[in-house]
Amino acid sequence: MAKYLLLKHYRGGPATVNDVPMDQWTPAEISAHMQYMRDFAARLEGTGEFVDGQALAPEGAWVRYDGEGRPPVTDGPFAETKDLIAGWMVIDVDSYDRAVELAGELSAAPGAGGKPIHEWLELRPFLSEPPTITE
Amino acid sequence: MDETLLRSLTPSVLGILVRRGIDFAAAEDAVQDALVEAVRVWPADPPRDPKGWLTTVAWRRFLDAARADAARRRREDLVDEEPAPGPAPTVDDTLQLYFLCAHPSLTPSSAVALTLRAVGGLTTRQIAHAYLVPEATMAQRISRAKRTVSGLRLDRPGDVATVLRVLYLVFNEGYSGDVDLAAEAIRLTRQLAAAIDHPEVAGLLALMLLHHARRAARTAPDGSLVPLAEQDRSRWDTRSIAEGVEILQAALARDQLGEFQAQAAIAALHADAPTAAETDWVQIVEWYDELARLTGNPVVRLNRAVAVGEADGPRAGLTALAAVDDALPRYSAVAAYLHERDGDPATAARLYVEAAQQAPNLAERDHLTRQAARLNALRRR
């Protein structure tokens, strides 16, 4: 009973094995990839392990406070930002091993040539509530 | 209407239905329907016999569902008439339900969810909220769990240890939602203790009561953790402590020691100390030795090192710690604490930072970061 974030990066992670940019895939390959992701989420809902999944647009802005009474400053996007998050999935599983197993399955989503991308996914545990019994 | 009272009838009503020969999954659905109906109807029209009312409504709901099902499958071999209510040894029914919902074929999270619904009478929505997952996910988790245990026979004796592990999880790893899971775990353990005479059930109940007693003192108004030594002991719930101690003493007197009794004994020694300085650490170390013998759990040896540090001084604590696997969660936090007490704030600050980075939850991380910040500020002076 622990939640994990599976983080998918547009860039910033180590190179994937099947490293062909998506715009070089065939439309059918793109559809197959999307279907795989949907099926994966549906299967996790069926096993009672799915919490959330969202995709993010690659373009975003940086925003910060600029002092009392002033509107926030926006800037960017910065081309030099190395890490770019594409989306996430949140799972609620019984063990770390199960989280790794599921991340491995998600990483097997098909890409160019219908072959698994072997994409690197970042797996991050959620900070939980403190346990009641501590000593 | 007292919802807890209503929910306390859940296991016996479910037990009656299952004993009438209904499949567990169908019976459980029917009881949930009856509970929902009770919440709707009872405030205006309270029944004289709540359990009889629930049983009747659940039975009708089952018949409705079974008829619809039978119509679909063109099968009409189901019982139509309501059977005369037979003798209801509800204690046994309740006990069998606990065993079923904690069956070893279930994963821990499934067993927890099923126990809260089928024994606790909570709705899927409440359980989903309590564990911060979508309702659809929790519904699937519960229905899979029901399918897993549906083929099992209810009359097989279960292992009480598996039930205790599930209840311990509900108590210890509960999030804070609109359902108080710690209180619910205590209620379910109390109910179990009434159904079975077992010193470890009593031990777990005592352990829960003793920890629950300190709940108000465990967090500051801003939500930050207050360590045991700094808690305002006047805010401890003395009634809960007295009850826990009494239950524990009766259990220990039976001389069948188990891990929950040993854990409760440690909690009782803390609860018994008027001030942190008066804690009987020597006895606590002895109980940790018992606990290590009973469980072989390496985390016990880590906690023991803290107790040794208090009983025999930080040097002894650090020596005890040297024999513990440094990859254990909270190892750095323990090391930091002992090094500070040993008069080495520089090492302690570094270890607190390390411990904060490894902390499994936000409250502990913030607490450890504050410890590091406190030591760093002292050293700058």
Name every residue whose Cβ is closer than 8 Å to that of residue B313 and which is 6 or more positions away in sequence: none
CATH number at A25 reads 3.30.70.1060
- Structural domain count, chain A: 1
Angle separating helix axes B298-312 and B314-322, nearest 10 degrees: 160
Which residue is associated with the tokens 């079923």?
B100
Chain B from 127 to 166: CB within 8 A of any A CB = 131-134, 136-138, 140-142, 144
Q: With an 8 Å Cβ cutoff, are B306 and A135 in contact?
A: yes
User: Hey, where are the domains in chain B?
Assistant: 280-325, 329-381
**Residues of B in Cβ contact (< 8 Å) with A47:** 140-141, 144
**What is the per-residue pLDDT across B10-21, written as a single tens digit (0 to 9) for each?**
998 998 898 888
Mean of the pLDDT values across residues A45-68?
92
Provide the greatest CA pair distance for chain A: 58
Task: Establish if A134 belongs to a structural domain.
Answer: no
Per-residue pLDDT tens digits for A64-84: 999 999 999 998 777 666 678
Which backbone phi and psi does A59 adopt, to 5 degrees? -85, 135
Closest approach of A128 to chain B, Cα-based (Å): 5
The reported pLDDT for the residue numbered B78 is 47
Residue A133 falls inside a structural domain: no
Cβ contacts below 8 Å, chain A against chain B, sum to: 88
Partner-chain contact A129 B134, CB within 8 Å = no
pLDDT digits (tens, 9 = 90+) for B178-201: 788 999 999 999 999 999 999 999
Q: Is residue A29 part of a domain?
A: yes
* Order of strands across the sheet that contains A2-11: A50-55, A84-93, A2-11, A121-125
| A135 belongs to a structural domain | no
Question: Is the pLDDT confidence value at B26 over 50?
Answer: yes
Q: Is the predicted pLDDT of residue B155 greater than 80, yes or no?
A: no
- Domain span holding position A80: 2-125
Close Cβ partners of B274 (under 8 Å, ≥ 6 residues apart): B233
Across A106-126, b (16+ Cβ under 10 Å) vs e yields bbebbbbeeebbebbbebeeb
Euclidean distance between CA atoms B55 and B51, whole angstroms: 6
Give a yes or no: residue A45 inside a domain: yes
Per CB-CB distance under 8 Å, the chain B contacts of A45 are 134, 136-137, 140
Q: Give how far B259 is from chain A: nearest CA, Å.
A: 13
Element (H, E) at A63: strand A62-64
Q: Which of B112, B138, B182 sits opposite A132 (nearest CB)?
A: B182
Burial of B338 (0-12, 13-18, 19+ CB in 10 A): buried
| Sequential DSSP letters for B5-73 | HHHHTHHHHHHHHHHTT--HHHHHHHHHHHHHHHHHHTTTS--SSHHHHHHHHHHHHHHHHHHHHHHHH
- What pTM was estimated for this model as a whole? 0.89
Nearest residue of B to residue A90, measured between CA atoms: B133
Chain A CA closest to residue B299: A135
| Single-letter amino acid, residue B265 | A
User: What is the spatial distance between Cα B156 and Cα B136, in angstroms, rounded to a whole number?
Assistant: 32
* A87 lies in some domain: yes
